[in-house]
Structure 1
Amino acid sequence: MTGAAERRRTTFLRGHQAEWIALLYLLAKGYRPIARRFSAAGGEIDLIVSRGDTIAFVEVKARGLMDDALTAITATKRRRFSRAARAWLSRNGWAAGRTWRADAVFVAPGRWPRHLKAAFELEIS
C-alpha cells in the first residue's frame, strides 16, 4: 500500500472508531440512536440520535488534540451537513414538531469525549 493510501485507511479507521466512542458516550447520556452515517444531498451526518422530543444531528470529529477537533467544523462542512439534515427530515415526516439541533462530539486520545450541544446552527429553511 502506498503512503497516501495507508494514511487514508488510517484516517478512515480512526473516524469509525471515533464514531463508536461518540455513540457509546451519547448512549450513556440517555440518547437513543436513530441512524449512523446518513448520506444525502452531498453531505453526511455521522450520527442521528434522539432524547425526549429532541433530535440531534451529530458531527463527530477525531483529532490528536482536542483544540484541533474544536476547529475542524468548517463553514463548508456546516452547509453540507445542513443539506443532509434537510434531506433526512424530508424523508422522516414523523420528526416534524420536534426540536432539531446540530451537535458535535469531539474525540481525542486520552481524553473523555466532549459533547457540544447546538455546536452550530442548522440551515434548514
Structure 2
Amino acid sequence: MRVQDKRPKDPSGAARKRAERRGRWSEYLAAAYLLSKGYRIVALRYKTRSGEIDLIVRRGDLVVLVEVKARATQQSAVDAVSFESQRRIRAAGDLWLCRQPDASRLSIRCDIVAVLPWRWPRHFSGAF
C-alpha cells in the first residue's frame, strides 16, 4: 500500500521559485552582515561536484565556509544543517582550498548564519 503525499501539487513550481528567491535573499543578507563584521566576501554559492557552499568569506588568514539558513527560529536553522550537509560543505571547502595559492598559511572554519524573520542574522562561529 502506497502512502500518498498530502501536499497539493504545484504544477507551476511557484513554491519552489519562492523558496529559491528567499534563499538567495537570505544569502545576500548574510553576506552584508558578515561584511559589517569585517569579513571579505570571497565567493557566493561556490559549486563543486562535492556540493555547494553558500558563502566563502575571509578575514586575514582565516577562511570561513558559511551555510546560510532562513528559518523561523535559531534552533531550527542550526538543526537544518545535517551531518551529510556538513560533510559536503567540508569536501567542497577542501576543493576550494587546494586551488588557492596561499593555502598552506590559511586556516579554515565552518559557520552557520541563521536568517530569522524581522531580526538581525545570527552568526554561529565554528558551528561544525
- Other structure's SS at 2:19 match: helix
**Which runs of 5 or more residues in structure 1 are unaligned?**
121-125
For these two proteins, the number of residue pairs brought into alignment is 120
Residues 4, 109 of structure 1: alpha-carbon distance in 2 compared, 3 angstrom cutoff: farther
With structure 1 as the length reference, what TM-score do the two structures score? Answer: 0.89
Q: Map Cα deviations across residues 57-84 of structure 1 (whole Å, 9 max, x no partner).
A: 1110111333211211100101111110
Q: CA deviation at 1:4?
A: 6.8
**Are 2:114 and 1:83 equivalent residues in the alignment?**
no
Bigger strand share: 1
Given candidates 4, 13, 17, the residue that maps to 1:5 is 13
- Bigger CA drift: 4-13 or 25-34? 4-13
Give the match for residue 36 of structure 1: 44
Q: CA deviation at 1:95?
A: 2.7
CA distance in 1, matches of 2:28, 2:125: 18
Give the match for residue 26 of structure 2: 18
Amino acid at match of 1:8: R
Residues 4, 69 of structure 1: alpha-carbon distance in 2 compared, 3 angstrom cutoff: farther
CA distance in 2, matches of 1:28, 1:70: 22
Instruction: Answer whether contact 1:43 1:81 (CA < 8 A) is retained.
Output: yes
CA distance in 2, matches of 1:61, 1:96: 30
**Are 2:72 and 1:64 equivalent residues in the alignment?**
yes
Amino acid at match of 1:53: D
**Which runs of 5 or more residues in structure 2 are unaligned?**
1-9
- After TM superposition, which residue ranges in structure 1, 4 or more long, deviate above 2 angstroms? 64-67
